[in-house]
Structure 1
């Protein structure tokens, strides 16, 4: 049976998370995506009618191919210059492509269009702040509607306009009097603190930043804003000569988000006696931070367009904001816009605490684009420059895994574990897990099993480790009850994870429990539609319970579904001849097809949090 490509460490947002929050307890493991090519410019002269241009533009838009979408929307406007829908989508595509000034021209023209007023008001107001027209900005950004998110956004932006106009006390009063739900507080506390910093009112800044840092709900509500507050307060104390208070503030952040990489860099700087500059020093940067705060809080699967829109507008006002650049890069990778991601990572300032994060992610993105040798060279150089940085080994290991160079992958994680030393932390489970995968792929179970068990010791509830180790035990016909129990525990932890449910179904299949296998494999197909391996498994299950027509249907589905590692010739053989009869003399786990490596679902995209 084929191997499922479920255990390769991949890039994108998930890997950005493990690099940013190394040691937090998340492994960036997922089904690898094919290398994506950024769009080739389309010749709009091929569109010779409004409908042709419009349909082609919408297709490009849906595919996040904004370069071609922009060109084609403009072509459509040559046929219908007054078409508001086309102009609206053109404006949004311009912003999403990073063309702020061009998008602004469209926003000015559409300022009375109610359908896009939410966007046009913000960008017009921000442009006024950028140009120092603070009273104009306040008028544009005035909002009295019922939407809580819009109220918070516009009030914060308007207050930053007041700060720019030298009215910091009024700005702070505006926000302290803002009424809203409890989740407002982390945003308002952070931005009041930042406004006070810009105004030079250190006592007020310290008070409100401390409120944000000690807010127990802040990490769950807005982890990116919480970390900005921690770093702002630490910088404040360091600048005031309060080195120990600065380090204590960083420790509070560490307690909430383990080993946040930029915080570690800030700690090292302060320990050296340095006084790092604040991230927000102007009204424009503060206003940009509002959209970063909101975008970061909204950043989840399915919200990429909205988050990217906020972040692109934020980037236009504060082009050197490292956390904005890295978050935008992660979204670009998720949308398979690797060239755009690489360009964003390269823009992170050399003196930023996040520069190394961008360099690590850049290396993995190079691998995603098929530049494997360049990626290896880049990441090896990063390891050599700081051999103690575990994130470098994780990034390099992901490239080796993608290249299926398991020998080098195992050696890489052996070195990482030497660096970790004899007393690993709970968050180091991912390094042991990945080493176990490398040795399992090398068929060296005597080295793989201890690594898996160490990973499980460090993180006993980790579903991916439970799934992999449990499945491997079942596959090898050893400790069957223990192995099946681990897989069931993984399913209990992630009942909606189609890959792990598939693993349970396939374990039942390997044990000859075909009815139970079909039940779980049918559920896996529903949870993860269109996966070739799961379709193939279900076909095998159907055949063993006598549902042969359905088995052939599922095998045919496997041939046309996603999944690069299935053995297509073997599937075709099954379609032609079915499965061979079961050998009644075989041991339990040998009474069926050879097993694939168990699947692993994508890693979470949010940092580890403590309540």
Structure 2
């Protein structure tokens, strides 16, 4: 349901269209000159309009907004009246977090209808930041048909009215907000925090309660749901209702389990420590509107739109921890780890989300090949709070990527000591990861009980079903039971190429070669370029007599950087093919287990 809703919202969002629209009015030089200059991405070497423009577009496509800004500025120096360049530079400045420069261009373009949705919100946010709430409300006048834009504008007008001193009118505007059913969680959250900021606890409580009991709304906008839970718990704690505050957090746990900010706030409330209001000023409320919408749209393919909303939100609330963490995640997806690290480090020290940012920071450091720094960072986090199981999972992920399986096993041994004799469902991943560590150490007698425990805690977990089933099949043990486990994993995750590969390999081990080919061909479509899947498909092709295709797949496996130990085996198959079926079957028990396929490196 959530995906279809988000898709519908995205399909009708004017801002998405603006971010993806390319004008065709720019005059170009020859294709060769453009390509040569665009490839340099060196400002000093670009001396033509076409080169600067193409370099900017290249950087923008790579989400390298620093360079995109620089090259658009260079292009504008050479063609100062080019409207498209002004539009693109404005948007790129805003997406790069350069709000003041973007707002200056928005003022220049405020009468340009093609970017009106961007300029109006930008100028409104500048007015709110400057304390000119009346001007903000005027510029936000929107009469279009788009539900999302209408929701955003009406909420921002309400917060502008609140900032202008008319709190009652502002709350009444939010109450009367009418639209599709998915408006509910946004309306109730904003009404609740607005009433709380006005000191009207009696109005805030029911609105926030309705927001956190809206399960459909929570699935659509989980970040807004989380903010609503924290707002209600904070409201009750500040009113002296300790148990009601804890009850609100428990309600949040039902939707988002083991969420660090909930745990941190619970800890403060239980210790009777002071908790600060979540929203105190109109600027924070307005920032929260764009954060909520950006969070609801946050999915693959929408990163540019989400980035725009979040960066605008930061213009009014630069220290919002959840905004910084979402921005860090988007930067990671764009493989801009240094920028992600910078966002994580900006999360305020006292924020309930600080530990999340620290954990993610450690993982991201490892991705930038700063493995030693990552290890020290995560070890320090474990030492600072030995009871936080998430720290062991983050550290274990770094150790796994480094193939330090001995340290990985020791890490999870300590984690399970902390968990104690009564593990909860959410601890399945700790046992799963310890099983992987021992399996990699070839200590199957220690690995298998951990996989079984992970399944006991979470019987429907496809990663565990796949890993254990694959391990059995690849070791020629419990073949039928392993096959059934993998089938179940495929049912739960039908589009996972690694799991589908496991099913194909199970059929191969059982001698059901035609069925193996079907599944392995599907696996290679889902996960192209994986050495193990190509190798498996080559074996299956050979067994059904498609020997030319088998050799081709083995060569592809060799070109896909397989593990070093597999290279001579694959080369031998290319040179000689597979032995006769009887000889092959006799050697099955001697073949070492390949690594069972997982979703990603980080599990």
Q: Tell me the distance in 2 between the aligned counterparts of 1:586 and 1:576.
A: 16
Distance 1:533 1:109, change over 3 A: farther
Moved more, 64-73 or 582-591: 582-591
Aligned to 1:328: 327
Within a 5 Å distance, the mapping from 1:79-118 to structure 2 comes to 79-118=78-117
- The residue number in structure 2 matching 1:434 is 433
The offset of 1:272, in angstroms, is 1.1
CA displacement at 1:492 relative to structure 2: 0.7
* 1:63-113 residue CA offsets vs partner (Å, 9 max, x unmatched): 111111111222222333233333222222222222111222222222223
Q: Which residue of 2 aligns with 1:528?
A: 527
Instruction: Provide the C-alpha distance between the structure 1 equivalents of 2:91 and 2:387, rounded to a whole number of angstroms.
Output: 44
* CA drift at 1:289: 0.5
Q: Report if aligned partners of 1:439, 1:448 keep a CA contact under 8 Å in 2.
A: yes
Q: Distance in 1 between matches of 2:453 and 2:75?
A: 60
CA distance in 2, matches of 1:575, 1:603: 28
Report the TM-score, using the length of structure 1 for normalisation: 0.88
Q: 1:210 is matched with which residue?
A: 209
After TM superposition, the structure 1 = structure 2 runs for residues 25-174 of structure 1, keeping only pairs within 5 Å, are: 42-174=41-173
Find the counterpart in structure 2 of residue 599 from structure 1: 597
Equivalent-residue separation in structure 1 for 2:123 and 2:497 (angstroms): 45
Tell me which residue corresponds to 2:395.
396
- 5+ residue gaps, structure 2, are 1-38
Provide the secondary structure at the position in 2 that maps to 1:217: helix
Structure 1 stretch 454-463 or stretch 361-370: which is displaced more? 361-370
Check the 8 A contact 2:399/2:405 in 1, yes or no. Answer: yes
Structure 2 CA distance for aligned equivalents of residues 560 and 88 of structure 1 = 44
State the alpha-carbon separation in 1 of the partners of residues 419 and 221 from structure 2: 30
How many angstroms does 1:490 deviate by?
0.4
Q: Which SS does the other structure have where 2:215 is aligned?
A: coil
Deviation (angstroms), 1:406:
0.4
Taking the TM superposition and a 5 Å limit, the aligned residue runs for 1:195-234 are 195-234=194-233
Q: Which residue does the alignment assign to 1:414?
A: 413
Q: Is the 1:292–1:314 contact (alpha carbons within 8 Å) kept by the matching residues of 2?
A: yes
Matched residues in 2 for 1:512 and 1:85: separation?
A: 62
Aligned counterpart, 1:584: 582
Do the aligned partners of residues 544 and 47 (structure 1) sit closer, same or farther apart at CA in structure 2, a change above 3 Å counting? farther
- CA shift for structure 1 position 374: 1.1
Give 1:255's aligned residue: 254
Q: Secondary structure at the match of 2:226?
A: helix
The change in CA–CA distance for 1:535 and 1:60 in structure 2 (over 3 A counts) is farther
Structure 2: distance between partners of 1:589 and 1:423: 42
Q: 1:507 to 1:326 in 2, by over 3 A?
A: same
Whole-angstrom distance in 2 between the partners of 1:536 and 1:52 = 44
Aligned 8 A contact 1:543 1:578 in 2: no
Shift of 1:527: 1.6
Whether contact under 8 Å (2:193, 2:278) holds in the other structure is no
Measured in 2, the distance between the counterparts of 1:591 and 1:473 equals 11
Q: Name the CA distance, whole Å, in 2 between partners of 1:604 and 1:565.
A: 18
Q: Measure the CA separation in 1 of the matches of 2:573 and 2:49.
A: 47
Do the aligned partners of 1:583 and 1:591 also contact (CA within 8 Å) in 2?
no
Unaligned runs of 5+ in 1: 1-39, 606-611
Which residue does 2:372 correspond to in 1?
373
Judge conservation of contact 1:582–1:592 (CA < 8 Å) in 2.
no
- 1:454-505: per-residue Cα shift (whole Å, max 9, x none)? 1011111111000000001111111111000000100011111111111211
CA distance in 2, matches of 1:442, 1:604: 18
Cα shift at 1:595: 4.8
Contact 1:535 1:557 (8 Å CA) reproduced: yes
User: Secondary structure of 1:529's partner?
Assistant: coil
Shift of the 429–591 alpha-carbon distance from structure 1 to 2, 3 Å rule, reads closer
Rounded to whole Å, the distance in 2 between the matches of 1:195 and 1:144 is 24
Q: Deviations over 1:287-310 (max 9, x none)?
A: 110111111111112221111111
Distance 1:320 1:421 in 2: 37
1:405 match = 404
Distance 1:548 1:418 in 2: 52
Q: What does residue 545 of structure 2 align with?
A: 546
TM-score (norm 2): 0.89
Shift of residue 248, structure 1, vs aligned partner: 1.4
Q: Kindly tell me: are residues 543 and 567 of structure 1, through their superposed partners in 2, closer, same or farther at Cα, counting changes over 3 Å?
A: farther
Deviation at 1:404, TM superposition (A): 0.6
TM-aligned CA deviation for residue 254 of structure 1 = 1.5
Residue 314 of structure 1 aligns with which residue?
Answer: 313
Equivalent residue number for residue 24 of structure 2 = none
| C-alpha distance in structure 2 between counterparts of 1:450 and 1:592, whole Å | 23
Alpha-carbon distance between aligned partners in 2 of 1:604 and 1:177, rounded to the nearest angstrom: 45
Distance in 1, matches of 2:529 and 2:279, equals 46
Residues 552 and 107 of structure 1, relative CA distance in 2, 3 Å threshold: farther
Task: Identify the structure with bigger relative contact order (alpha carbons < 8 Å, sequence gap 6+).
Answer: 1
In the alignment, the residues of structure 2 paired with residue 531 and residue 119 of structure 1 have an alpha-carbon distance, to the nearest angstrom, of 42
Change (3 A) 1:433 1:264: same
Q: Is the 1:76–1:86 Cα contact (8 Å) retained in structure 2? A: yes
Return closer, same or farther for 1:310/1:495 CA change in 2, 3 Å cut-off: same
Deviation at 1:446, TM superposition (A): 0.5
Structure 2 match to 1:453: 452
Superposed CA offset, 1:393-452 (max 9, x none): 011111111111000000100110111111111011010100010000000000100000
Give yes or no for contact 2:539–2:578 (8 Å, CA) kept in 1: no
Contact 2:234 2:278 in 1 (8 A): no
Tell me how far apart the structure 2 counterparts of residues 568 and 76 of structure 1 sit (CA, whole Å): 51
Aligned residues: 565
C-alpha distance after superposition, 1:362-382 (max 9, x if no partner): 111111111111111111111
Counterpart-to-counterpart distance in 1, 2:344 and 2:198: 31
Per-residue displacement from partner, 1:122-157 (whole Å, max 9, x unpaired)?
111111111111111011111111111111111111
User: Matches of 2:602 and 2:152 in 1, distance apart?
Assistant: 27
1:514 match: 513
Alignment of 1:466-545 (within 5 A): 466-545=465-544
- Contact map agreement 1:511 1:588 (CA 8 A) in 2: no
Q: Which residue in the other structure is 2:21 paired with?
A: none
RMSD: 2.2
State the shift of 1:534 in Å.
2.4
**In the superposition, relative to structure 1, how do residues 134 and 260 fare at CA in structure 2: closer, same or farther (>3 Å)?**
same
User: 1:476–1:589: 8 Å Cα contact kept in structure 2?
Assistant: no
